[in-house]
Chain A
Amino acid sequence: MSTAVNATPTARRTTPRGFALEPVFEGLCFAAATALLAALGGVLVSLAIGGWPALSRFGLSFVTGVTWDPNPDHETYGAAGPIVGTLITSAAALIMALPVAGGVAFFLVELCPTILRRPIGTAVELLAGIPSIVYGMWGLFVFAPFFATHVETPLMTWAPPGSIWETLFSGIPNGSGMLAASIILAIMILPFMAATLRELLNTVPTQVRESAYGLGATTAEVVLKVTLPYIRRGAIGAVMLGLGRALGETMAVTFIIGNSHAFPKGLFDSGSTIASTIANEFNEAGPLQSSALIALGLVLFVITFTVLALARLLLRSQVRA
């Protein structure tokens, strides 16, 4: 560098301005990036430390026990109810949202009239950004009353006594409960999954699709046998990202799940999820109860981290969605 500056002997040897700050700037950038790592590590460590009193006291029964009793005389925290509630509502939401999200994505990429493609695609992407509390409020005030009178009550009166349907449809027909929460969750993750799937479908080269059409394949065959296998890994990643969202979702669920820690018995029964339990109780909790809630957070962290890590590994191989 300095030889270039000294090309003419008369030029004064100067150190260009700012070279001294080079390592400072790089250090700052490095520190900012490392802070992210520290944040994620800090979440894990702080949850482990905060949850330790409850975890060490209840041991394995914290995860397997079904009694969640904050009464100071006989405090017991078994979190099987919220944990199973989280897994069931998320899985049910995924099962409901996936075919619809897939249908919307296929429709937008393969079938939609060109003039509608942009408006509908934009609408789906915008809806993916609506805060979840809006979905929760809609669930509480609009969906629940409708669901109670038009779905729950008829199904419960229809279910023949003694059959599996009676068990499945048991609960209080007030519009809130496990199934209602799953449906709201499904509506909430739907635009997100549809938008991601659409982006993935758009990465399929036109030639691939056109050659399939050229061989005489129908639209259904092109989609199901050519484009879907092409984006397979990324699609699984997108689905798991949706699952990650559903698992950690707080507000949309808290409004409508009924918030009961008992192990849910039927689809209309009230239940709870990890996130809804934390949101409801944390601010009024005693020391051991807060520790139990933080331990619940640790369980949620482990579940979602696994799901999200898998999702990112699968997605990264295709697109950075």
Chain B
Amino acid sequence: MAVSARHVAARRLGNVVFVAFCALVTFIALAALALILYSLIVQGLGGLNLNIFTKSTPAAGTPGGLINAIVGSILMCVLGMIIAVTMGILGGTWLAEYAGESRYGTIIRFLNDVLLSAPSILIGLFVYEILVFPHIQVRLFGHDIKIEPFGHFSGLAGGVALALLAAPVIVRTTEDVLKLQPIALRESGVALGAPVWHVIRTILWRGSASGILTGALLAFARISGETAPLLFTALNNQFFSWDMTHAMASLPVVIFQDALTPYPDLNRLAWAGALIIAASVLAVTIIARAFSQEPRRS
């Protein structure tokens, strides 16, 4: 079969066009993302000063900082992570060690994957309905008894919302890394007479520690920038507070509110906050990648 020169030329041309397109869009994409980082760094550094770390959020026109939001964010993220790590490791262990190929296990695995990328604002609405808003009235012996878990916005509700966003990530990573452990490890533990839960705790968890830690750090990176679920749960607080049973400021929410005001000093504060969040998320992600042998993503 003769290969016509024109056919070969057309294929070559098609290839050149394709390669050029790929290179071009890669360049454009990287340029766009570099532009975003550039304005973030320039604008953010412009707003950074000592006040940010010593003063609380100001009213427009007065000097102030973000310390209440930073502390609020840290408290809620830590609470969220405590809940999420406990639930996530136990849930992931169940999926990896006990569930097998059972139907219930398959369903949970699937729903966990869905929960992993569910819109965070819906998680916020859910927590609002169960922890912030509910006024359940029960009539007992002629008395109306009102059940109000909190009945108002609180840092605790914010932490629970963040936990619900972090847990699926940890479940997923825990299950994945546990399944990487060889069966022989489990068998040898049991053969020595150890109870299965002992084997899981002292052999499997220990062997997968770095993987689980990676998952936890990635989950932490994910929730530390979340805004939407905190809007309806922790709300915001103009003042410095350690009290998690009441409304609490957080960096993302403060950024959201300050960026939408017409005041340049508040906008500058928002940029500084965005830089702090982006920098800490990047730092945590890089640490997480350093812990994992191979790049792992959620």
**Chain A interfacial positions (CB closer than 8 Å to B):** 1, 4-5, 16-19, 21-22, 25-26, 28-37, 39-40, 42-43, 46-47, 49-50, 99-101, 103-104, 106-108, 110-112, 120, 122-123, 125-138, 140-142, 187, 190-191, 194-195, 199, 218-221, 223-224, 241, 244-245, 247-251, 254-255, 275, 278-279, 282-283, 294, 297, 300-301, 304-305, 308-309, 312, 316, 320-321
Contact = CB atoms under 8 A, between A and B. Distances in A.
Given A43-B118, A46-B126, A131 B26 contact: no
A70 to B, nearest CB: 17
Nearest to B43: A141
Contacts of B212: none
A131 B122 contact: no
Contact of A106 (B22, B222, B252, B259): B22
Contacts of A47: 122, 125-126, 129
Interface stretch (B50-58, B62-70, B138-146, B276-284): B276-284
A187 B36 contact: yes
B281 A104 contact: no
B36 A134 contact: yes
B248 interface: no
Contact of A39 (B21, B29, B164, B193): B164
Interface string B179-207: 00000000000000111111010000000
Contacts of B297: 125, 128, 195, 199, 321
Contacts of B121: 248, 250, 275, 278-279, 297, 300
B2 interface: no
Contacts of B176: 320
A150 B36 CA distance: 18
Interface string B111-134: 111110111111101101110000
Contact of A312 (B21, B113, B255, B285): B113
17 contacts: A4-B193, A16-B193, A16-B195, A19-B195, A25-B197, A29-B93, A31-B90, A43-B118, A111-B22, A125-B297, A137-B40, A191-B33, A218-B15, A219-B18, A245-B117, A247-B119, A294-B125
